[in-house]
Amino acid sequence: MNPTFLIAKKRDGGELADGEIADLINGYVSGEVADYQMASFAMAVVCRGMSVEETASLTRHMLHSGVMLEWPNSTAAEVDKHSTGGLGDHVSLPLSAMLASCGLRVPMISGRGLGATGGTLDKLESIPGFRTNLSLEEMCEVVDRVGCVINGATETLVPADRKLYALRDVTATVESIPLITASIMSKKLAEGLDALVLDVKCGSGAFMKTLDDAQALARSMVRTGTLMGVTTVALVTDMNQPLGRTAGNAVEVNESIAALQGDGPDELMDVTMALGAELLVSTGVASNLTAGIEQLQATIDNGLALAKFREMVTAQGGNLDAPRPIAARNDVLATRAGHVQSIDTQELGRAIIELGGGRRQHGDELDLSVGLEMQVRVGDRVDVGQPLVAIFATEEKASAVRNMVSNAIVLSDTSVRPPHLLIDRVTRH
Ligand code: URA
């Protein structure tokens, strides 16, 4: 293999054959292809793109760079949900338990937060004792026994992505739809799934800021998943304001438990139900989306989902009854009356980083007790002196971000129409 030839072929807009992509990925993992060569290839992909077939090849060879979870004795379907990430998005916590209560198996591999959006593993670690570093054997055992698990990736899963993503991060090559597709899909497909639902976030607090980009990523991931034999559907959902009311770590776990007790905020529940229903329909557990939503709601009404969540937490070493400290509450009040026109969600994410609840760089220690609780949503009318956001932090930390948080909420004199939450549904048809 001559990596220089393959890089030049892509740079000039050529289409790489499956074997050529295999050579590059295998060579990169073995060390035969150097970082500088892979960075150059990634930049060629950023500039020239990749065809559907090339993207599927890249995904497949990244997936096969490591081990895959296998479920030879399973009699139910393995499913998962992936979100491209947004503030206050803790759908994974209630949804995993709700799906397992419907008889599906959820081997969810999740990540840590970096930048403005939180990571599922960090949130779960606010539950005392909760382990997110189970071995693959332990993970499979929890799925067999409980039906759902939420764990971190191991070194042996998709090593090509581990290496390539770190390289892309420092070479301005993250923003490429084929590279993002291969990165996300290789990790999800390594779970050995029958069906996958993707939540592609769109808006000021999302990775994809425009609807066009979000739809393009959704189509690319759905095509790739389908080509690789996994029933894949994507929903494009709004991220111009936090999804749930809370954003942080322990505060999001508390809201997830409230959701499982039937007391979740409407928007969080609407997205959770819509995503879950797709998986129930994809696997034939529900005959249509409405029936799927009813089945999911029943798991909350009859207490099964909350019991399942507790079972998963216990199986992963956590104690749901132990206190999860939340820092003191400090309210940010409206300085004028008006209608909430917009919420700078990224700025709220930055405020959480300032409070110590999010990471500036890999390895930063988090303060899991800090966070925000939104008191308003876009379109709400507010009076002067009304609380807009509660900041959970020491008074000193809260005053350091008070202006940031206050300025992130823009009020207008005229009424504002709330944005649509569920924007688009992308299937293989
Ligand atoms: N998340 C991933 O896992 N990979 C990407 O390339 C971008 C976001």
Sheet with strand 329-333: strands edge to edge: 246-248, 371-374, 387-392, 329-333
* CB neighbour list of residue 14: distance below 8 Å, 6 or more residues apart: none
- Clarify whether 183 is annotated catalytic: yes
Residue 16 CA to ligand 1 center (angstroms) comes to 22
**DSSP annotation of 262:** T
Class of domain 3-49: mainly alpha
- CA 183 to ligand 1: nearest atom: 4
**DSSP annotation of 224:** H
Q: Residue 389 is encoded by which pair of tokens?
A: 């956001």
Residue 179 CA to ligand 1 center (angstroms) comes to 8
Q: Residue 196 is encoded by which pair of tokens?
A: 């996958």
Q: What fold does the segment set 79-154+190-321 form as a domain? A: Pyrimidine Nucleoside Phosphorylase; Chain A, domain 2 (3.40.1030)
Catalytic residue, candidates 61, 163, 187, 188: 187
Catalytic residue, candidates 92, 110, 183, 186: 183
Give the model's pLDDT for residue 152: 95
Give the model's pLDDT for residue 362: 81
* Pocket test residue of 183, 189, 199 for ligand 1, highest count of atoms within 8 A of CB: 183
- Clarify whether 168 is annotated catalytic: yes
Residue 307 CA to ligand 1 center (angstroms) comes to 32
Residue 112 CA to ligand 1 center (angstroms) comes to 12
**Closest residue by CA, ligand 1 atom 5:** 180
Residue 182 CA to ligand 1 center (angstroms) comes to 8
**Closest residue by CA, ligand 1 atom 1:** 184
- Clarify whether 187 is annotated catalytic: yes
DSSP 137-161: HHHHHHHHHHSEEEEEPPTTS-HHH
* Pocket test residue of 184, 185, 208, 224 for ligand 1, highest count of atoms within 8 A of CB: 184
- CA 165 to ligand 1: nearest atom: 6
Q: Which amino acid would we find at residue 180? A: I
Residue 125 CA to ligand 1 center (angstroms) comes to 22
- CA 207 to ligand 1: nearest atom: 8
- Clarify whether 420 is annotated catalytic: no
> Length of the chain in residues, anyone?
429
Per-residue pLDDT of the chain (429 residues; tens, 9 = 90+): 899 999 999 999 999 999 999 999 999 999 999 999 999 999 999 999 999 999 999 999 999 999 999 999 899 999 999 999 999 999 999 999 999 999 999 999 998 876 767 799 999 999 999 999 999 999 999 999 999 999 999 999 999 999 999 999 899 998 899 999 999 999 999 999 999 999 999 998 898 999 999 999 999 999 999 999 999 999 999 999 999 999 999 999 999 999 999 999 999 999 999 999 999 999 999 999 999 999 999 999 999 999 999 999 999 999 999 999 999 999 999 999 999 999 999 999 999 999 999 988 888 899 999 999 999 999 999 999 999 999 999 999 999 999 999 999 999 999 999 999 999 999 986
Q: Which residues pair with 411 in a beta bridge?
A: 340
CA 124, CA 151: separation in Å to the nearest integer?
Answer: 9
CA 301, CA 295: separation in Å to the nearest integer?
Answer: 10
Contact 164, 31 (CB under 8 A): no
Catalytic residue, candidates 61, 168, 339, 350: 168
- CA 184 to ligand 1: nearest atom: 3
Give the model's pLDDT for residue 224: 96
**Closest residue by CA, ligand 1 atom 8:** 180
**Closest residue by CA, ligand 1 atom 3:** 184
Query: Long-range pairs for 272-275 at CB < 8 Å and ≥24 separation?
Result: 272/91, 272/94, 272/95, 272/98, 272/296, 273/297, 274/235, 274/237, 274/422, 275/81, 275/91, 275/95, 275/197, 275/199, 275/235
- CA 182 to ligand 1: nearest atom: 6
- CA 180 to ligand 1: nearest atom: 6
**3-state secondary structure (DSSP) of residue 343:** strand
Map out the domains of the chain as residue ranges: 3-49, 79-154+190-321, 329-412
Asked if 79-154+190-321 and 329-412 have one fold, the answer is: no
Nearest to 123, CA basis, from 255, 218, 22: 255
Angle at 345 between CA 344 and CA 351, to 5 degrees: 95
CA 179, CA 167: separation in Å to the nearest integer?
Answer: 12
CATH number corresponding to 329-412: 3.90.1170.30
Angle at 189 between CA 187 and CA 192, to 5 degrees: 125
Nearest to 271, CA basis, from 119, 423, 109: 423
Give the model's pLDDT for residue 317: 98
**Closest residue by CA, ligand 1 atom 7:** 180
Alpha helices in 64-176 (DSSP H): 92-101, 120-124, 136-146, 159-169
Q: What is the pTM of this model?
A: 0.96
DSSP 355-385: HTSS-SSTT----TT-EEEES--TT-EE-TT
Q: Which residues line ligand 1 (CB under 6 A)?
A: 165, 174, 179-180, 183-184
- Which residue has tokens 């549904």? 425
- Clarify whether 161 is annotated catalytic: yes
